[in-house]
């Protein structure tokens, strides 16, 4: 059986040599009020987002929920540490962050005023009570606890408490280029607590209608809070409500971690609204920071609709970067066909059909190429056939 032991040792060393993957579990609500469950979700989401912001491998919220579903776990109820360890293993993570939230209501007769951190012009407000948040980090491979961190303060200081906790965990994770705490906190402690509560309730909502209601409420309570605007824009984009999508997404700050994805959705929405110049500008910004084949393709599509000559070269860049994609072959063929280069266009349409057999537009245009039949004024069948792409995973 010595060989079996060597296999396990090799597997351990191989995994241990890789960057740790983190799973952040919702913190347990240790108060007597179930309406405060959102506090534990908020603490966990802040830490998860912070790890993602600093490029630490971290299990997404969607991946965690999927693993819980596959384990037949209830999504929003008390879960034991042993169960969270199973979820961590199911997702392939090897670091688990879990914890608890304690809330002590202020006595009715004594609500000491609190000035909210990050709000220099804010008036002191009566405190609703005191919050104590405990975060524990576990190494699943050993297993062993790697650290415990505690932050506390008035409930009105929730964003500040969460930012301090996240910064301490990032220190433990040894992420690259972690700024000093003061710099890290900038922009992270200014969200209004009622807006944060509505946002977290939106994330936990079980129906799109409830999500939309909570996210809208959060955006109205704090117009500077970009997270609910991002989700509202994404919901409208997926529903093909492009004007509404642009309305919610247009003003999201460049500093937001999902800014490139936002610009990608804005560019696609504006293209669908025939606002090609705005679409071009959005995709130019994406290409400048993340020159993926999808971004080159969509920039080229907007340029083509504007009659800009660079479109052809940008379609070529997309195709050369990913020759396995039938849409990139089709777009190149379509551009060649419109230029009257029928033999070259036919070659592209054949390549598209090799990768996507039965594609009607490729078959039709291949036939036109074989007959040397070019564009015709008012030919609706061949207008607007350029194919756009959704954003690549690396910018989501």
For 258-395, give the CATH class.
mainly alpha
The pTM of this model reads 0.84
Superfamily name with CATH number, domain 16-105+127-190: ABC-type transport auxiliary lipoprotein component (3.40.50.10610)
The pLDDT tens digits along the chain (396 residues) read: 444 444 344 444 444 444 799 999 999 999 888 889 999 999 999 999 999 989 899 999 999 999 999 988 876 667 889 999 999 999 999 999 999 999 998 886 455 555 555 554 455 667 788 999 999 999 998 889 999 999 999 999 999 999 999 999 999 999 999 999 999 988 788 899 999 999 999 999 989 999 999 999 999 999 999 999 999 999 999 999 999 999 999 989 888 889 999 999 999 999 999 999 999 999 999 999 999 999 999 999 999 999 999 999 999 999 999 999 999 999 999 999 999 999 999 999 999 999 999 999 999 999 999 999 999 988 999 999 999 999 887 676
Which burial class, exposed, middle or buried, applies to 201 when counting CB atoms under 10 A from its CB (0-12, 13-18, 19+)? buried
Residue spans per domain, the chain:
16-105+127-190, 258-395
Q: Which of 155, 154, 162 is nearest to 188 (CA)?
A: 162
Question: In three state form, how does the secondary structure of the chain look?
Answer: CHHHHHHHHHHHHHHHCCCCCEEECCCEECCCCHHHHHHHHHHHHHHHHHHHHCCCCECCHHHHHHHHHHCCCCCCCCCCHHHHHHHHHHCCCCEEEEEEEEEEECCCCCCCEECCCCCCCCCCEECCEEEEEEEEEEECCCCEEEEEEEEEEEHHHHHHHHHHHHHHHHHHHCCCCCCCHHHHHCCCCCCCHHHHHHHHHHHHCCCHHHHHHHHHHHHHHCCCCHHHHHHHHHHHHHCCCHHHHHHHHCCCCCCCCCHHHHHHHHHHHHHHCCCHHHHHHHHHHHHHHCCCHHHHHHHHHHHHHCCCCHHHHHHHHHHHHCCCCHHHHHHHHHHHHHCCCHHHHHHHHHHHHHHCCCCHHHHHHHHHHHCCCCCCCCCHHHCCCCCCCCCCHHHC
């Amino acid at each position: 059986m010595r060989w079996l032991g060597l296999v396990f040792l090799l597997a351990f060393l191989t995994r241990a040599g890789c960057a740790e993957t983190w799973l952040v579990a919702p913190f347990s609500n240790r108060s007597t009020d179930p309406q405060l469950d959102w506090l534990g979700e908020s603490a966990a989401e802040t830490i998860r987002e912070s790890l993602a912001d600093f490029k630490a491998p971290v299990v997404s919220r969607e991946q965690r929920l999927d693993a819980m579903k596959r384990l037949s776990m209830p999504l929003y109820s008390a879960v034991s540490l042993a169960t969270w360890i199973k979820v961590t293993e199911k997702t392939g993570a090897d670091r688990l962050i879990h914890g608890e939230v304690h809330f002590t209501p202020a006595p009715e007769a004594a609500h000491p005023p609190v000035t909210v951190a990050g709000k220099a012009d804010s008036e002191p407000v009566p405190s609703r009570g005191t919050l104590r948040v405990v975060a524990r980090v576990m190494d699943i491979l050993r297993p062993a606890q790697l650290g415990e961190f505690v932050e506390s303060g008035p409930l009105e200081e929730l964003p500040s408490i969460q930012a301090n906790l996240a910064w301490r965990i990032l220190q433990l994770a040894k992420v690259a280029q972690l700024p000093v705490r003061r710099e890290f906190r900038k922009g992270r402690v200014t969200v209004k607590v009622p807006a944060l509560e509505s946002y977290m309730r939106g994330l936990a909502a079980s129906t799109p209608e409830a999500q939309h209601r909570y996210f809208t409420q959060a955006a109205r309570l704090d117009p500077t809070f970009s997270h609910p605007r991002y989700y509202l824009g994404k919901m409208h984009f997926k529903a093909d409500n492009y004007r509404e999508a642009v309305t919610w997404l247009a003003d999201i700050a460049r500093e937001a971690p999902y800014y490139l994805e936002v610009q990608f959705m804005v560019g696609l929405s504006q293209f669908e609204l025939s606002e090609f110049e705005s679409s071009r500008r959005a995709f130019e910004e994406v290409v400048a920071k993340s020159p993926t084949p999808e971004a080159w393709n969509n920039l080229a599509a907007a340029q083509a609709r504007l009659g800009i000559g660079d479109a052809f070269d940008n379609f070529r860049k997309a195709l050369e970067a990913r020759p396995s994609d039938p849409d990139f072959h089709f777009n190149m063929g379509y551009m060649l066909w419109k230029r009257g280069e029928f033999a070259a266009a036919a070659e592209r349409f054949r390549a598209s059909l090799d990768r996507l057999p039965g594609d009607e537009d490729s078959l039709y245009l291949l036939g036109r190429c074989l007959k040397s039949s070019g564009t015709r004024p008012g030919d609706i069948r061949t207008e607007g056939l350029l194919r756009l792409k959704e954003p690549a995973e690396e910018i989501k």
